């Protein structure tokens, strides 16, 4: 079974963590995030476009109330160098990890915490997410997702969001309450995400994590996931 390409993974990210709108603007795909964070507010260069101007993208982002922010993938190294020369600084390098669902499920322990599946977040889930910085604007991101999705709830211990695009299930917003950390809650949420992905006939599960979040990166690697793609942002730094 062929692993998903970087392009397929990036398409899955856009489908499962949804901006308010996409703007196709003079060689750029510009995401309108409505306060939902960098992932839904960055511009990317459209494929095979040679004439796109950084200034045009920056002006479009400013016109919709966003600071200029660019997502740089492995295919964007020329753009990366241009942005660096223009004074745009690297922000939050991110890794996308993935693994085949069948391999992930094989590692599932026999006994684990009970994890429920919710259609919409209850008050407990909302409070846990809020404690981790996932505010109403990011809840709106989840609500906008049109593909199959679920909220995985460990009651007052933890919560996560999962959605399926094509044969890829993406797991987002894994958050464990402070007083329940180091109890296997994150593992339990992930294993239930694997089971849900299997129910959706997905072949792959993927997650995103900023590289500086070493505990999360280690968790996903321990579960059997490996890095399949990466990106970082460039944001303008005024002098």
Which percentage of the chain shows pLDDT scores above 90? 88
Q: What is the pLDDT of residues 220-237, one digit of tens each?
A: 999 999 999 999 999 987
Q: The tokens of 221 are what? A: 């690697």
Q: What is the Cα–Cα distance from 179 to 156, expressed in whole angstroms? A: 10
CA gap 54, 48 in Å, rounded: 15
pLDDT at residue number 237? 72
Q: How confident is the model at residue 51 (pLDDT cuts 50, 70, 90)?
A: confident
Question: Given this structure, which CATH class describes domain 97-230?
Answer: alpha beta
**Residue from 177, 167, 176, 163 nearest 208 by CA:** 163
Each residue's pLDDT tens digit, 74-131: 989 999 999 999 999 999 999 999 999 999 998 877 667 889 999 999 999 999 999 9
- Cite the residue boundaries of each domain of the chain with CATH code 3.40.630.30: 97-230
Q: What is the mean pLDDT of the chain?
A: 94
- The pLDDT, as a whole number, for residue 238 is 62
For residue 144, what pLDDT is reported? 97
CA distance 2 to 39: 26
Taking the C-alpha atoms of residue 127 and residue 177, their distance in angstroms, rounded to an integer, is: 9
d(CA 12, CA 206): 9
Residue that wins the pLDDT comparison between 183 and 112: 183
Tell me, what's the pLDDT at 111? 63
Q: 19: helix, coil or strand?
A: coil
Is 113 strand, coil or helix? Answer: coil
Give residue 48's pLDDT. 73
8: which 2 tokens? 């397929």
DSSP state of 148: S
State percent of the chain over pLDDT 70.
98
């Amino acid at each position: 079974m062929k692993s998903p390409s970087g392009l397929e993974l990036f398409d899955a990210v856009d489908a499962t963590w949804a901006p308010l709108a996409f703007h196709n603007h003079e060689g750029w795909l510009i995401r309108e995030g409505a306060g939902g964070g960098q992932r839904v507010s960055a511009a990317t260069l459209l494929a095979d476009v040679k004439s796109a101007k950084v200034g045009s993208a920056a002006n479009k982002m400013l016109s919709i109330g966003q600071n200029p922010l660019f997502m740089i993938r492995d295919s964007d190294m020329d753009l990366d160098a241009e942005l660096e020369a223009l004074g745009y600084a690297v922000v939050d390098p991110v890794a996308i990890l993935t693994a085949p669902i069948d391999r992930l499920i094989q590692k599932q322990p026999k006994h684990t915490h009970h994890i429920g599946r919710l259609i919409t977040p209850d008050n407990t889930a909302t409070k846990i997410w809020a404690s981790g910085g996932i505010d109403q604007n990011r809840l709106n991101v989840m609500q906008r997702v049109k593909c199959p999705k679920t909220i995985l709830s460990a009651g007052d211990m933890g919560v996560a969001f999962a959605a399926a695009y094509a044969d890829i299930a993406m797991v987002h917003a894994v958050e464990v309450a402070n007083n329940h950390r180091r109890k296997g809650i994150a593992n339990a949420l992930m294993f239930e995400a694997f089971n849900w992905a299997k129910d959706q006939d997905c072949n792959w599960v993927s997650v995103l994590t900023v590289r500086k979040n070493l505990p999360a990166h280690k968790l996903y690697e321990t579960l059997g996931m490996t890095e399949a793609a990466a990106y970082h942002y460039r944001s303008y730094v005024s002098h």
